[in-house]
């Protein structure tokens, strides 16, 4: 595990965007695993800047998003489909047919989970999986539980997650109760994982995830088993880590 701490969010964004663009420069057919939430917004801004400067093309890249809300219309401003369009897809040359997001509005959600897994199996493995971290240790929407699932599945969101994401909705009760998420097995199959965490409010969970016991009660702790994990933190998020 390689943990890098940055004294500014701007430097963190640049470092992470640079990892993405340099991968795509060396492998134009790279498969990217993408995350949503507040954490990657500045990273995507930097990726867009790199694209606009002509440093990189995403024309042959394939992407898989981690998750999507269930039952939120795909054109709802807070759907992850809208988020990706707003922050990344509308600004780069990634082909829409190669930008995959699980569909939380499919009538048969189980079939949608299997379809998504099959697509990842056909096109993958994912070369670089970008991850944020929930306050309760979730990755994707894999919430703490006695057991975790390998593949894409439907999950009931934890209260803590719904409270954290209420900031994006007009009223807390409008936060969907369920989501469709890539499973931890698929996440761990990525060749490289980049976990990004910002903010003092996540310092404790960062420390638990990276130094605590490996347990499904803290899904991010399973990342300790990954052979190629890079952790990018701002100083606030890394403040409880012992200097190595």
Ligand X SMILES: O=P(O)(O)OC[C@H]1O[C@](O)(CO)[C@@H](O)[C@@H]1O
Which residues of this protein are in contact with ligand X, per CB under 6 A? 35-39, 66-67, 132-134, 140-141, 165
What is the C-alpha separation between 72 and 68, in angstroms, rounded? Answer: 9
Question: Closest separation between CB of residue 66 and ligand X, Å?
Answer: 6
Three-state SS letters, the chain: CEEEEECCHHHHHHHHHHHHHHHHHHCCCCEEEECCCCCCHHHHHHHHHHHHCCCCCCCCCEEEECEEECCCCCCCCCCHHHHHHHHCHHHCCCCHHHEECCCCCCCCHHHHHHHHHHHHHHHCCCCEEEECCCCCCCECCECCCCCCCCCCEEEECCHHHHHHHHHHCCCHHHCCCEEEECCHHHHHHCCEEEEEECCHHHHHHHHHHHHCCCCCCCHHHHHHHCCCEEEEEECCCCCCCCCC
* Shortest Å distance, C-beta 133 to ligand X: 6
Which residue, 91 or 160, has its beta carbon nearer to ligand X?
160
Considering 13, 117, 127, 138, which one is annotated as catalytic?
Answer: 138
Which entry of 68, 117, 127, 143 is annotated as an active-site residue?
143
User: CB neighbours (10 Å) of residue 227?
Assistant: 9
Nearest distance in Å: CB 200, ligand X? 13
Q: Which residue of the set 67, 112, 117, 127 is catalytic?
A: 67
User: Active site includes 67?
Assistant: yes
Beta bridge partner(s), residue 69:
179
Q: Which of 136, 142, 165, 234 is catalytic?
A: 136
| Active-site annotation holds for 93 | no
Judge whether 136 and 43 are in contact, CB under 8 Å.
Answer: no
Catalytic status, residue 138: yes
CB-based contact 59:89 (threshold 8 Å):
no
CB of 168 to ligand X, least distance (A): 8
Whose CB is nearest to ligand X? Answer: 132
Q: Is 45 a catalytic residue?
A: no
Nearest distance from C-beta of residue 60 to ligand X, angstroms: 26
User: At closest approach, how far in Å is the CB of 59 from ligand X?
Assistant: 26
* 53/167 with CB nearer ligand X: 167
**Distance between CA atoms of residues 76 and 90, nearest Å:** 16
Residue positions annotated with a catalytic role: 67, 136, 138, 143
């Amino acid at each position: 595990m390689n943990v890098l701490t940055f004294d500014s969010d701007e430097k963190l964004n640049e470092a992470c965007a640079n990892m993405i663009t340099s991968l795509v420069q060396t492998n134009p057919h790279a498969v990217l695993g993408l995350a949503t939430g507040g954490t990657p917004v500045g990273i995507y801004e930097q990726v867009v800047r790199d694209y606009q400067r002509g440093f990189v093309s995403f024309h042959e890249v394939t992407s898989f998003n981690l998750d999507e809300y269930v039952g939120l219309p795909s054109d709802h401003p807070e759907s992850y489909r809208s988020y990706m369009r707003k922050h990344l897809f509308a600004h780069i040359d990634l082909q829409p047919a190669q930008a995959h997001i699980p569909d939380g509005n499919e009538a048969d959600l189980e079939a949608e989970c299997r379809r998504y897994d099959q697509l990842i199996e056909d096109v993958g493995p994912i070369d670089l999986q970008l991850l944020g971290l929930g306050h309760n240790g979730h990755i994707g929407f894999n919430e703490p539980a006695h057991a975790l699932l390998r593949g894409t599945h439907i999950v009931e969101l934890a209260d803590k997650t719904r409270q954290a994401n209420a900031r994006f909705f007009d009223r807390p009760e409008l936060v969907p109760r369920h989501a469709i998420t890539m499973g931890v097995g698929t996440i761990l199959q990525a060749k490289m994982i980049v976990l990004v965490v910002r903010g003092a409010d996540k310092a404790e969970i960062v420390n638990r995830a990276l130094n605590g016991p490996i347990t499904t009660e803290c899904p991010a702790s399973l990342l300790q088993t990954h052979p190629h994990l890079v952790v990018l933190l701002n100083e606030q998020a890394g403040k409880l880590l012992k200097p190595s």
